[in-house]
Structure 1
Amino acid sequence: MLYPVAVEEGNDDHAFGVVVPDMPGCFSAGDTLDEALQNVTEAIVLFLEDYSELPAATERSTLKSAPEFEGWTWHMIEVEVDV
């Protein structure tokens, strides 16, 4: 299943932050964008271990207009889990 994730850009002083809006409390970070996206994939799998159903994925276009994610970039993460 594909999930949209919001990425807060990092720099030399701050890590890249990643939030999964469809999974409250599911987030991760990394020193590089690739590392942050890999880490959030692992966070999603761990998050879903406690669920019997996969949460529905919100359309990325809907999330882009959310004020709390202004200035963030969006990526889609594919997660294969047996729930």
Structure 2
Amino acid sequence: MLYPVYIHLGDKDYAHGVTVPDFPGCFSATDDWQGLPKAVQEALEVWCEGEKGDLPTPTPLEDLAANPDYQDGVWLLLDVDTDKLDTKPVRLNISLPQSLVNEIDAYAKAHGATRSGFLAQAARDAMGG
């Protein structure tokens, strides 16, 4: 899906700053234009972690371009892989030893996480993501 992305132009000393208006508070930075799509995709995936509900509908670029908050930069319509942004939880039935579940629960609680959140992050870490 094409989402408008606003780029605050960098220079030889500063990275290009990136804002995704349809995802409030989602931002990223990259030193070069080639790295921009990957940086934005990763930022959106992090932003969506733990979110519930539907993804926002992309705001028409012409509406955003008229906004005075977005001046002195450039716009890009970025094709975001929304399959990686799915925010709808899926219920799973898995079997683990009780002692491992107890350890997972204790660790997750001590780190301000839920069992599901901990297991999801452990899976991401194991897969290199």
- When normalised by structure 2's length, the TM-score is 0.59
Provide the rounded CA distance (Å) in 1 between the counterparts of 2:62 and 2:43. 23
Query: Match of 2:111?
Result: none
Distance in 2, Cα, partners of 1:29 & 1:37:
11
Please tell me whether Structure 1 or Structure 2 has the larger radius of gyration of its CA atoms: 2
What RMSD in Å do the two structures reach over aligned CA positions?
Answer: 1.3
Which protein has the bigger helix share? 2
- 2:95 aligned residue: none
What is the rounded CA distance, in whole Å, between the counterparts of 1:32 and 1:22 in structure 2? 23
Between Structure 1 and Structure 2, which shows a larger proportion of strand residues? 1
Secondary structure at the counterpart of residue 71 of structure 1: coil
Higher relative contact order (CA 8 A, sep 6+): 1
Structure 1: which 4+ aligned runs deviate by more than 4 Å?
A: none
**Aligned letter for 1:80?**
D
Q: Which residue of 2 aligns with 1:25?
A: 25
Counterpart position of 1:12: 12
What percent of counterpart residues are identical? 39
Taking structure 1 as the reference length, the TM-score comes to 0.88
Q: Which ranges of structure 2 fall in alignment gaps of 5 or more residues?
A: 87-129
Q: CA deviation at 1:47?
A: 1.6
